[in-house]
Amino acid sequence: MIETRRSGQLQHYINQLLQLVGVREPPVPVEQIAQLRGARIRYVAFDGELAGLLFEEQGQIIIGVNMSHPKTRQRFTIAHELGHLELHHLHAFHIDRNFRAVSTGKADGAGQASGASEVEANAFAAELLMPAALLLQDVQGYPLDYEDDALLARLAERYLVSPQAMLLRLTALGVVQPF
């Protein structure tokens, strides 16, 4: 779990990124943000469950994204790899295989991940794609529970994320009680 102070710093930093590109409503232009931060995105048909990778090639930061995955998964992969870049996890080459989004009850909304850097990158991606301020504004006045598939689907579509990612984020924000 990301400690509260670190989580607050992460949220503040992401808010600055969102202001930089003028985000006032979803969906967040994650590709544009990655490019502004100096990363080049390559869409490649990776074998197996490889979601994405982050590496440096001749001084250029590259985010590789599995083009055979759904668009929502690709967006999360870009945000996740950007998280590794922004959180200084890039040491030479970083590969992310099928990072799972299984609720662990952690307050960071990152889902299940192995290692602190994976948890941080997942939290970064969740906050970037589903900023707390925007999401809380969108759900204000709606009674939510984890069985409200229609509202969950509408929110996921609005933010261009998977319904599972949206459910995890709403749970992490305390808007939906865990099942």
pLDDT at 109: 39
Q: Which of 39-43, 47-51, 106-110 has the highest mean pLDDT?
A: 39-43
Which residues does 116 contact at the CB level (< 8 Å), separation at least 6?
Answer: none
**Where does residue 157 rank: exposed (0-12), middle (13-18), buried (19+ CB within 10 A)?**
middle
Residue 130 tokens read as 């589903």
Angle of the 4-20 helix axis to the 116-129 helix axis, nearest 10: 40
Report the CATH number at residue 115: 1.10.10
Question: Is 52 within a domain?
Answer: yes
pLDDT at 163: 94
Q: Is the pTM of this model over 0.75?
A: yes
| Banded pLDDT at 89 (limits 50, 70, 90) | low
pLDDT at 102: 31
pLDDT tens-place string over residues 91-129: 545 555 554 433 233 333 334 455 888 888 999 999 999
pLDDT at 105: 32
Question: Is 148 within a domain?
Answer: no
C-alpha distances in Å from residue 118, one per residue of 62, 138, 141, 161? 18, 28, 33, 19
Residue 52, classed as helix, strand or coil, is: strand
Question: Is 8 within a domain?
Answer: yes
| Banded pLDDT at 147 (limits 50, 70, 90) | confident
**Per-residue pLDDT for 137 more than 80?**
yes
| Banded pLDDT at 177 (limits 50, 70, 90) | confident
Question: Is 26 within a domain?
Answer: yes
Domain, as residue range, for 31: 4-130
Question: Is 117 within a domain?
Answer: yes
Q: Provide the number of structural domains found in the chain.
A: 1
